[in-house]
């Protein structure tokens, strides 16, 4: 059984160096920060996303970093991307499903569901499709791994982002299943960030109370260096959400989380 958050329980070790790592959403925020740190450790890193200028900025001045455009909302686009990726980088052995969007929605009344549908397409169908396009290749590679970026909100929902929470909870579940069916062939890791200062939502980059991006990335890299690799990479700040149910404080945590988020957004 998967322990929650603290103890490394993976059976294998993800190598720290010498991998060829694809990171979606590598042109900004968490993806950009992790991409550079993986590269600093001596890995080849490919960043993917829609904005080529953002990707170019991530890789600027770094040999062994590469940029490829990807729109993860498009099934055909993903198929085409996988072909381009494997032609240019046949040694790719680590997939980091990081690209995502977060939209605020008021689910208390009937509404236009465009944001909900976009969220499901990007955050849920995107990683499922991209993993599907690459899983057979990953199985053929040594030391292969899939890292799925979920969220603390997979475990306790923010009331203003109902579809976002639901997609992250779904990817948590998908990751658990994938880990079991790929056991012994591909290491499957979940990375669930807490609230981190990035441009994911307007104003979030400098929001007080959110974890500074550099500090978050330091903690993630330290957890990924543990042996064996944790099945769930959970920095200390996210344990409050990840462990809410098991510590029998879910209802209180739901109230506290939403009060914190409202206060943080209102400054």
Ligand X SMILES: NC(=O)c1ccc[n+]([C@@H]2O[C@H](COP(=O)([O-])OP(=O)(O)OC[C@H]3O[C@@H](n4cnc5c(N)ncnc54)[C@H](OP(=O)(O)O)[C@@H]3O)[C@@H](O)[C@H]2O)c1
Kindly list the residues in this chain that would bind ligand X in the complex (CB under 6 A).
24-25, 27-31, 49-51, 54, 70-73, 98-102, 122, 149, 151, 193, 195-196, 198-200
Taking the least distance from each CB to ligand X, the nearer of 60 and 142 is: 60
Cβ atoms of 105 and 111 within 8 Å: the answer is: yes
User: Do residues 138 and 85 lie in contact, with contact meaning Cβ atoms separated by under 8 Å?
Assistant: no
Contact 82, 134 (CB under 8 A): yes
Tokens of 3: 């322990």
Q: Which is nearer to ligand X, 51 or 62 (CB)?
A: 51
Secondary structure element (H or E) that encloses residue 20, with its range: strand 20-24
Helix (H) or strand (E) holding 84: helix 75-88
Shortest Cβ contact with ligand X: which residue?
Answer: 29
- Of the candidates 164, 174, 216, 240, the residue annotated as catalytic is 164
Least Å distance between CB 263 and ligand X? Answer: 16
Q: Burial level of 184, CB count in 10 A (0-12/13-18/19+)?
A: exposed
Give the residue with the Cβ less far from ligand X, 98 or 144. Answer: 98
Q: How far is the CB of 197 from ligand X (least distance, A)?
A: 7
In angstroms, the CA 225 to CA 13 distance is 8
Q: Nearest distance from residue 179's CB to ligand X, in Å? A: 19
Minimum CB separation of residue 55 from ligand X in Å reads 7
Give yes or no: 174 in active site. Answer: no
Measured from the CB atom, is 15 or 46 closer to ligand X?
A: 46
Q: Active-site residues: which are they?
A: 164
């Amino acid at each position: 059984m998967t322990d929650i958050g603290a103890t490394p329980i993976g059976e294998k070790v993800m190598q720290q160096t010498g991998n060829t790592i694809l990171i979606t959403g590598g042109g900004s925020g968490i993806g950009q920060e992790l991409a550079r740190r993986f590269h600093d450790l001596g890995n080849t890193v490919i960043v993917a996303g829609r904005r080529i200028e953002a990707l170019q900025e991530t890789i600027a001045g770094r040999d062994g970093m590469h940029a490829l455009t990807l729109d993860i909302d498009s099934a055909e686009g993903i198929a085409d991307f996988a072909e381009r990726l494997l032609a240019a980088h046949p040694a790719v052995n680590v997939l980091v499903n990081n690209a995502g969007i977060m939209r605020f929605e008021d689910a208390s009344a009937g509404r236009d569901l465009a944001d909900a549908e976009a969220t499901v397409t990007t955050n849920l169908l995107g990683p499922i499709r991209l993993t599907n396009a690459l899983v057979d290749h990953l199985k053929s590679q040594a030391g292969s791994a899939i890292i799925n970026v979920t969220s603390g909100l997979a475990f306790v929902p923010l009331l203003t982002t109902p579809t976002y929470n639901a997609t992250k909870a779904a990817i948590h579940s998908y990751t658990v299943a994938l880990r079991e069916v790929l056991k012994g062939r591909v290491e499957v890791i979940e990375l669930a960030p807490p609230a981190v200062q990035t441009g994911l939502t307007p104003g979030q980059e400098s929001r007080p109370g959110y974890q500074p991006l550099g500090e978050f990335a330091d903690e993630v890299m330290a957890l990924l260096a543990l042996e064996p690799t944790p099945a769930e990479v959970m920095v200390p700040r996210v344990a409050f959400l990840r462990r809410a149910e098991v510590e029998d404080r879910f209802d209180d945590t739901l109230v506290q989380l939403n009060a914190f988020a409202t206060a943080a957004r209102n400054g």
